[in-house]
Chains A and B, each alone.
Chain A
Amino acid sequence: MGHDHHHHHHPHPHPHEIDADLPPALDTSVPDSELSPSDVSRRGFLRGAGLLGAGAAAGMTGVFSVPDVAHAQGPAVQAGKLQWLAGDHHIHTQYSSDAMYRVVDQARHARAYGLDWMVITDHGSATHAKIGVDKVRPDILAARDDLRELLIFQGLEWNIPAAEHGTVFVHPGKNELAVLKEFENAYDGAVTNTTDPGAANEALAVAGIKWLGEAVRRRRIDGALFLANHPARRGVDSPHEIRAWRDADPQVAVGMEGAPGHQAAGIPKPLGPGGGRGAYDNSPSAASFPGYPLESYRTWGGFDWMTSTVGGLWDSLLAEGKPWWISANSDSHTVWLESAVRGPGDFATDGRYGDPVHGTSLNTGASDFWPGYYSRTHVGATTATYRAVMDAIRDGRVWVDHGGLIKSLDVRAREAGNKGRNSDTPLGGVLTVRRGTAVEVTIEIDLADQPNWAQFVPALARVDVIAGAVTGPVSDPDAFTTPRTRVVKSFEVSAHTGRVSFTHNFGRVDEPFYLRVRGTDGNRGQAGLMGAAVDPFGPAMDLSGDADPWQDLWFYANPIWVLPTT
């Protein structure tokens, strides 16, 4: 199905383009009254699960609306024709009150360390909204000119009303700056004094996401994305807020950091900051969601608890059928063991610090790495363009790694034994098969063959396949666990060079499910927080002041859904 679809850009799917050979239950142009009873029941379930264009039926759009299912399998995103572009959507400059580098400093390092795209995300603030957002603009334009092979987005680290921070960025264009500025002035929590918890502030966050979506629909900008940053750090992103953001506009609110930046923060003293990896060292506050356990305030194998817990918050969203993707970024403010120091100047007056100047010692207290040095977000783009990077992120063709653990990852789902690669479904996609069809996932990995930026060649020890039933919407929007997700298969990796390939056959499938993949260097681990039956060898909690990030490397891939139809 859908192979002859033209690529069409979000968020303007055209339901009339649905192929005639679409299964009736999926084809929203077929009214319920014309379906067989079993198809009616099936459609009801799929719609309830968010897997059928709930959106399309209601005249709205959704990633799972039928045209997008086709899109995920169309020629424009044939798994074999993607180029995987590494990037980082969370980077600060001298226009952030707690940072120091020039735009070009970050961009040159990003490029040198292998990134293809990056987002400048200075903190939203009254000063930034008044001065910095304008002043950073020429610096970004100049860096784009200097580094033609690097895509440099202008973005914002949004103080989400009532919650944590998030990356917001837009497609370059004539209204790029105007839209970012209007957004910051109207919806940034620090600018509007709305960071405290509460229903009114939560509503402002939702309104902000909808505003961005409206700016795209009105063609002021060609795309806008929002991802929640360091979501579990202080316990203030409640599950119902995350769901509300996503539901506000699934074309804009697409995910969260699976791993926070600040990955050097746990390097032991005296050569490192000696804190919590990811700068995760908080305890619950009055603003925190009361249901989160203490475990959520620490990183696990460098990753945020929402992502690292098999059967946890991320999985609870995926099990609902909600697309929600993860990323991994540097959050670079000040770089560990770097010698430059913040330049002179008054931030409040100038909206920036002066250019950094040479210092005479090494900053052992800094907790960050340069963009690309340690954390990477790989997106499967059809071309090396701003639009294709945004499309890939929106569609979930994304995997992330730490420390260059692997060189490349290619995960595809298909009917078992069907090697006709045109039917392969890549990360973020939906494989539709007739009920009772056997389904398999193949995982092809090019092992690291070059040293990483700590000058050693990482060794992949194990790859885990995680799968969970799609059970539909939750009755409690604050749910952060799901009972039917677990590690279904682990592959030990014995090879040290070249390409390794693994296949897991799910057998004949009768109900919707999703699968995702992660891998590790095998250095640290423990039974998962939901028990050894769910995750026998999950990541271990990072120890305060004793977390060398290079000795605990993981990669995570975003999910693929499998959708049996009658």
Chain B
Amino acid sequence: MTVLGISRGHATPAAAEHWVYDLVSPAGRGGVVACTHLVRAPHPHVAVSIEGLAGAPAEAGDPALAEAAELAAAAHTARTGGRAVLYPGVELLVGTLTVADLLAASAIERVTVIGGPPAAPDSPVRTRDFVRPQWMDGRLTLVTTPVAGGGIAPFEVPNPTPCCADHA
């Protein structure tokens, strides 16, 4: 399936993610996999790739960032890079569910653990209602870590500490 690359020069994954959510209406999300990509050139920013979109996107990318958009599309196509913000089943990944249920309910193909032993099928995943798997080695992979209270949670937290809290 064709993967569309678009870059509008978003500064952060969160900003790019909001733009994707606006671009792809809830009714049009069936089968869509949309990812954010960290791109270094021509300046560091976040590009987007979308697979499975019905019709042309309502908004175009920045022509000056066409190369970044191509890189994003290529990484997504090759399943080597891209952080998925829309993917089949994402809306079901809320609260706590087991690894087996998470794999069954969504397009995520693999769960890995940093800082702890490998996850078992019945390991509880505390989703924090924020699950952003990545294309790694051909598979949509959720990287997790052990967390307080037992079980695992996605490595990426929904509200990381800002560079300087209360920066004036």
A281 and B160: CB pair below 8 A? yes
B115 at the interface (CB under 8 A from A): yes
A545 at the interface (CB under 8 A from B): yes
B155 and A196: CB pair below 8 A? no
CA distance A476 to B147 in the complex (A): 36
Interface residues of A, dominant DSSP: loop
Given A275-B161, A287-B44, A544-B153, does the pair A97, B167 have CB atoms closer than 8 Å?
yes
B163 at the interface (CB under 8 A from A): yes
A283 at the interface (CB under 8 A from B): yes
Across-interface contacts of A276 in B (CB, < 8 A): 157, 161
B157 and A544: CB pair below 8 A? yes
Given A97-B168, A282-B161, does the pair A274, B148 have CB atoms closer than 8 Å?
yes
* Cβ-neighbour of B45 out of A275, A284, A286 (below 8 A): A286
A123 at the interface (CB under 8 A from B): yes
Given A285-B13, A540-B115, A543-B115, does the pair A98, B40 have CB atoms closer than 8 Å?
no
CA distance A295 to B115 in the complex (A): 8
A543 and B114: CB pair below 8 A? no
Across-interface contacts of B149 in A (CB, < 8 A): 545-546
A114 at the interface (CB under 8 A from B): no
Across-interface contacts of B168 in A (CB, < 8 A): 97-98, 125, 127, 347-348
A286 and B44: CB pair below 8 A? yes
A541 and B161: CB pair below 8 A? no
A543 and B167: CB pair below 8 A? no
Across-interface contacts of A279 in B (CB, < 8 A): 161
Given A196-B44, A281-B157, A290-B38, does the pair A97, B148 have CB atoms closer than 8 Å?
no
Given A543-B146, A545-B147, A546-B149, does the pair A286, B12 have CB atoms closer than 8 Å?
yes
B72 at the interface (CB under 8 A from A): no
- A residues contacting the other copy or chain, number (CB 8 A): 39
B79 → A minimal CB distance (Å) = 18
Given A98-B164, A125-B168, A294-B155, does the pair A288, B38 have CB atoms closer than 8 Å?
yes
B98 at the interface (CB under 8 A from A): no
A546 and B12: CB pair below 8 A? no
A294 and B146: CB pair below 8 A? no
CA distance A374 to B163 in the complex (A): 23
CA distance A286 to B11 in the complex (A): 7
A539 → B minimal CB distance (Å) = 10
CA distance A234 to B13 in the complex (A): 14
Across-interface contacts of A288 in B (CB, < 8 A): 38
Across-interface contacts of A281 in B (CB, < 8 A): 157, 160-161
CA distance A276 to B153 in the complex (A): 13
A75 at the interface (CB under 8 A from B): no
Q: Which of A286, A348, A542, A545 has the most CB of B within 10 A?
A: A286
Across-interface contacts of A290 in B (CB, < 8 A): 38, 40
CA distance A287 to B11 in the complex (A): 9
Given A98-B164, A268-B148, A286-B39, does the pair A541, B114 have CB atoms closer than 8 Å?
yes
B31-50: contact bitstring with A at CB < 8 Å (1 yes, 0 no)? 00000001110011110000
B166 at the interface (CB under 8 A from A): yes
B122-148 residues at the A interface, CB under 8 angstroms: 143, 145-148
B9-33: contact bitstring with A at CB < 8 Å (1 yes, 0 no)? 0011100000000000000000000
CA distance A279 to B163 in the complex (A): 10
Query: What number of residue pairs across chains A and B have CB atoms under 8 A from each other?
Result: 90
CA distance A290 to B75 in the complex (A): 14
B32-82 residues at the A interface, CB under 8 angstroms: 38-40, 43-46
A264-286: contact bitstring with B at CB < 8 Å (1 yes, 0 no)? 01001100001110010111111
B159 → A minimal CB distance (Å) = 9
A173 at the interface (CB under 8 A from B): no
A541-556 residues at the B interface, CB under 8 angstroms: 541-546
Across-interface contacts of B12 in A (CB, < 8 A): 285-286
A295 → B minimal CB distance (Å) = 6
A160 → B minimal CB distance (Å) = 12
A328-376 residues at the B interface, CB under 8 angstroms: 333, 347-348
A98 and B167: CB pair below 8 A? yes
B153 → A minimal CB distance (Å) = 7
A298 at the interface (CB under 8 A from B): yes
* Cβ-neighbour of A98 out of B39, B153, B156, B166 (below 8 A): B166
A546 and B147: CB pair below 8 A? yes
A197 at the interface (CB under 8 A from B): yes
* Cβ-neighbour of B38 out of A234, A284, A295, A540 (below 8 A): A284
Across-interface contacts of B156 in A (CB, < 8 A): 283
Query: Other than the known A269-B148, A283-B155, A541-B114, what 13 A-B pairs have Cβ atoms closer than 8 Å?
Result: A274-B148, A282-B161, A283-B13, A283-B160, A285-B38, A286-B38, A286-B40, A290-B40, A295-B114, A544-B145, A544-B153, A545-B149, A546-B148
- In order of increasing CB-CB distance, the 3 nearest A-B pairs are A541-B115, A97-B168, A546-B148
A interface residues, Cβ below 8 angstroms from B? 97-98, 123, 125, 127, 196-198, 234, 265, 268-269, 274-276, 279, 281-288, 290, 294-295, 298, 333, 347-348, 526, 540-546
| A-B residue pairs in contact (CB < 8 Å), sample of 27 | A97-B164, A98-B168, A123-B164, A268-B148, A275-B161, A281-B160, A281-B161, A282-B160, A283-B155, A283-B157, A283-B160, A285-B38, A286-B11, A294-B114, A294-B143, A295-B114, A295-B115, A298-B145, A348-B168, A526-B115, A541-B145, A543-B116, A543-B146, A543-B147, A543-B148, A545-B148, A545-B149
